[in-house]
Structure 1
């Protein structure tokens, strides 16, 4: 059996290799749009005496909001003393899980493309290659579904905690007296919304890839033979 590297680009013209290239790109977009985010919401405090004061709600990946100070140190706001106050919430587990799965899939795609383009003759020489490829792909489909759902919920929590309602519930100054709090400038969360979209897009792309990988296994070929075998009729020999 020849096991040496043989460069062959033809798998990229077939669904098996082309979809893997698409998965590589979608994984890049998924972790880059989430992992590099940083933003600031500006909170305006409308004091009862007509004065306005502002606070900055800074947040970034991995979104451990409970460690981000909304009021750093004891401060005087609207003529009232306010103790150190942090934002509420922690979406780090969901965000890090999402980015971790995306990075793993990114690395897996590069390894798979190396096998497809250089060792396809070894890949198809035995049943072990396609079966392992299918099992790994099926696991990654499940991980994408779980992490995309978890991150979608985590992003919803981040938006609430940094919005007017969440800030108002966090800052005691805003819940009583004649002080009104509102977020007047919002950070652009377009990239975070895009990351959720790419998360669920990866679910569909990897599920489609699982079908093409399954077709390379002996399970599919045996099923095909079992379905077509009984229908065959022996042609009588000519007299």
Structure 2
């Protein structure tokens, strides 16, 4: 049996290869829309004496908000002395988990496409290749469900912490009777919403692809052979 590289693009015309290509693209969109994010909220303080103050809260991936300063160093705002204040919250674990799964899937699809396009003759002649491929595909589909759900919750926590109510609860100055705090400019978070959508989309794509990979395994072929054998008419024994 020859095991050398043989370039064959025909698997891309079949569901097995085409869906792998789709998975490669959706993984890029998933970690690109989350891992490269940076945003800023502008908080306006309306003081009782008619003066206005402005604060800036810049945050980015992996969203360790507790390290983001709202007020850096002791200062005076609206005639009140204010100590150093940081935002509240940390969504790093869910964000890094999400991006990590996306990168793993990106790398695995590249390896799988290399096998499909150059070593399909080896892949189909072995039992280990399709079974390993099916196991990894099913496991990654489950990981997409878990990491997308975790990141969806983490993103909601980020929105709550950077929203007006979150800022009001974090900044003690906002509780003063002569100070009104408002978020007058919100960070553009549509790309983060898109990342969650791509996370769940990846889950469905990988779960669907698991069926096509399963059809390449001996489990499916044995089941099909067993069903075909049971459907044959039995020949009566000679008397």
- Using structure 1 for the length normalisation, give the TM-score: 0.96
Q: Residue 120 of structure 1 aligns with which residue?
A: 120
Alpha-carbon displacement from aligned partner over 1:176-225 (angstroms, at most 9, x marks no partner): 32211110101111110100000000000000110100010011111122
Q: Residue 187 of structure 2 aligns with which residue?
A: 187
Q: Secondary structure at the residue paired with 1:139?
A: helix
- Within a 5 Å distance, the mapping from 1:76-87 to structure 2 comes to 76-87=76-87
Q: CA deviation at 1:233?
A: 1.6
Alpha-carbon displacement from aligned partner over 1:69-115 (angstroms, at most 9, x marks no partner): 00011111101010000000000011111111101100000000000
Distance in 2 of aligned mates of 1:40 and 1:230: 66
Q: Secondary structure at the residue paired with 2:41?
A: strand
Q: Residue 204 of structure 1 aligns with which residue?
A: 204
Q: Residue 9 of structure 1 aligns with which residue?
A: 9
Alpha-carbon displacement from aligned partner over 1:9-48 (angstroms, at most 9, x marks no partner): 0000000000000000000000000011101000011111
Q: CA deviation at 1:150?
A: 0.5
Q: Residue 39 of structure 1 aligns with which residue?
A: 39
Distance in 1 of aligned mates of 2:154 and 2:148: 10
Q: CA deviation at 1:235?
A: 7.5
Number of matched pairs: 236
Distance in 1 of aligned mates of 2:48 and 2:177: 8
Distance in 1 of aligned mates of 2:176 and 2:77: 13
Q: What residue ranges of structure 1 are gaps of 5+ in the alignment?
A: none
Q: Residue 160 of structure 2 aligns with which residue?
A: 160
Distance in 2 of aligned mates of 1:71 and 1:104: 38
Distance in 2 of aligned mates of 1:223 and 1:159: 50
Distance in 2 of aligned mates of 1:75 and 1:159: 27
Distance in 2 of aligned mates of 1:25 and 1:191: 16
Alpha-carbon displacement from aligned partner over 1:137-160 (angstroms, at most 9, x marks no partner): 111011111110000000000000
Q: Residue 134 of structure 2 aligns with which residue?
A: 134
Q: Please provide the CA RMSD for this pair.
A: 1.1
Q: Secondary structure at the residue paired with 1:220?
A: helix
